[in-house]
Structure 1
């Protein structure tokens, strides 16, 4: 089982309440399951706005539009297990649009990032189908966890 050191940064200034607890539970549940293993090292999780994720998207992928999640791969030489950047704005808007709980949508983005680190991809239809299946399996693991994962907004 990987030895992960979680580094969680909440740079979303519009009111994400204590994401560290929910994120830690989410990632520890995935780690302990052993179902989708990733490498050892520091796993950086950053919660941001649409504006900030759009800057990252532009800087690294030449696309200035906001997106839901960006994952940077592991770098064993730097003792990095990877980095997952998620847009809280995007999760809030999509959850409202779909009539889904905000916490579930944000959890999906974090799961998606983890799965990229575990080797899943979504660049073609076959890979996307495998990614969607793995997302559902991972969400089922989270649903069955002893501790609930509950991300909350302090403002809407």
Structure 2
């Protein structure tokens, strides 16, 4: 098994090119290596502001769009994986990829933020992706110390692939 990125595009605002996906796959490998993660799957979906607004309202009770949402899977959901994945004859649950979770990025918000911060859309999407990935692993930024830790990890991974400000 290895670490895998599965992605879908549900927005029309900006073309998702193979070069971006390749860069995100590198970021995933670097971020995972820095955290000791070698196996699993991350599902990434690109959406518009309307879709992320709806998800933010439904799952977080916040009635506005946001830039990125992360939904971590946890190991206690093994019984639910039986429902999600239809096992083939002879296949066991251990053969199913360890799904780390879902990351949803609003492309219009990422574009606006890249303009506001004066860097490329690729850098902003990379930042949001690594940010979302760290949330999947349990990192958060509820106080200054945890925010500083998370920001340091994000910037270190982005620098490894040349996505600096």
Count of residue correspondences: 142
- Offset of 1:81 from its aligned partner? 1.3
Q: Aligned partners of 2:150 and 2:161: how far apart in 1?
A: 16
Contact persistence 1:31–1:37 (CA under 8 A):
no
**Structure 2 segments unaligned to the other structure (5+ residues):** 82-97
Cα offset for 1:15?
2.8
SS in 1 for 2:100: strand
Q: Distance in 2 between matches of 1:140 and 1:56?
A: 31
- Between 31-40 and 82-91, the greater mean CA deviation after superposition: 31-40
Tell me the residue number matched to 2:129: 110
Indicate the residue corresponding to 2:69 in structure 1: 70
User: Which residue is equivalent to 1:26?
Assistant: 24
Query: Gapped runs of 5+ residues in structure 1?
Result: 145-156
Partner of 1:139: 158
Deviations 1:10-46 (A, max 9, x none): 111123232x542343234432561134473331000
Quote the Cα distance in structure 1 between the aligned partners of 2:115 and 2:143: 28
TM-score, normalised to structure 2, is 0.76
The CA distance in 2 between the partners of 1:82 and 1:110, in whole Å, is 12
Distance 2:30 2:121 in 1: 25
Name the Cα RMSD after superposition: 2.1
